[in-house]
Amino acid sequence: MLLEVEGLTVRFGGLTALADVALTVEPGEIAAVIGPNGAGKTTLFAAISGFLRPQAGRVRFAGQDVTGMPPERLCALGLVRTFQVTRPFAGLTVRENIAVAAHLRHRSRAAALALAGRVAERVHLADRLERPAAELTLAGRKRLELARALATEPRLLLLDEVLAGLNPAEIAEMEPVIRGLREDGITVLLIEHVMQAVMRLSDRVWVLVGGRIVASGPPAAVVRDPAVIEAYLGPGAAERLERERALAGGA
């Protein structure tokens, strides 16, 4: 098991954002966390990646207890995250942005800049390498988030909505990039709203609703799970759908 989360609980004052969350990610898989808005997905990522200290629970990464470890140390261990709201180093060029991350494992400036070029190639940013990051479009910034995370040469990559806000052509371009990570031995845990992409990309889906995991399994099974349908469409929705399906079948 590469990542093991158990009993994870995060409260903001009286609000419980995560309640006793448990999930696991196996090496080499692409796993996804889905759930309606406000379910606690980004909070879960923050707690796993060291940006938030959970009130209770454990996070184990590659067998080591990393609960409450600061993000920079987790990154050095090989666990890196991207931000849903992209955070480019606006005053630096795209290459310099990626090189910051590459410096984690490469002391030499030349080596870091060269690695930045190779990573940019991979996420289709090579033509913008020498441009200021502030000039990038939303799609470009999402790519830059991914590129920087990749340049840290991680074992586990947490992707927070890297496809959100992209048009279908841009999504189609990004999907193979994410799928291709597996060949490099990078395990992926992603949060995604673009359901078709989740269905196509992920091996396993965890459904987070109201701060709790309500279902998990292969994507095709999860989307038929009554608990999941109700979470998205409201109470009674699963039953109603079942009835409609039966009627349609009978007619």
Binding site for other proteins (CB under 8 A): 49, 51, 70-72, 75-76, 80-83, 85-92, 96, 99-101, 103-104, 107-110, 112, 132, 134-135, 138, 141, 148-149, 151-152, 165
Quick one: tokens of 151? 């340049």
Which C-beta is closer to other proteins: that of 157 or that of 231?
A: 157
Q: Closest separation between CB of residue 170 and other proteins, Å?
A: 15
Q: Closest separation between CB of residue 188 and other proteins, Å?
A: 16
Burial of 15 (0-12, 13-18, 19+ CB in 10 A): exposed
Q: Closest separation between CB of residue 49 and other proteins, Å?
A: 7
Which C-beta is closer to other proteins: that of 104 or that of 195?
A: 104
Q: How many CB atoms lie within 10 A of CB 146?
A: 23
Which C-beta is closer to other proteins: that of 53 or that of 224?
A: 53
How far is residue 63's CA from residue 193's CA, in Å, rounded to a whole number?
Answer: 30
Quick one: tokens of 51? 């940006």
Fill in the DSSP letter of residue 18.
E
Q: Residue 121: which residues within 8 A CB-CB, separation 6 or more?
A: none
Which C-beta is closer to other proteins: that of 90 or that of 246?
A: 90
Q: Closest separation between CB of residue 179 and other proteins, Å?
A: 23
SS3 call for 102: helix
Q: Residue 67: which residues within 8 A CB-CB, separation 6 or more?
A: 54, 57, 58, 59
Q: Closest separation between CB of residue 104 and other proteins, Å?
A: 4
Which C-beta is closer to other proteins: that of 188 or that of 222?
A: 188
Q: Closest separation between CB of residue 71 and other proteins, Å?
A: 5
Which C-beta is closer to other proteins: that of 17 or that of 149?
A: 149
Which element (helix H / strand E) includes 80? strand 79-81
Longest dimension (CA), the chain: 71
Which C-beta is closer to other proteins: that of 51 or that of 232?
A: 51
Q: Residue 3: which residues within 8 A CB-CB, separation 6 or more?
A: 23, 24, 25, 48, 59, 60, 61, 79, 156, 187, 189
Q: Closest separation between CB of residue 216 and other proteins, Å?
A: 26
Quick one: tokens of 146? 């991914």
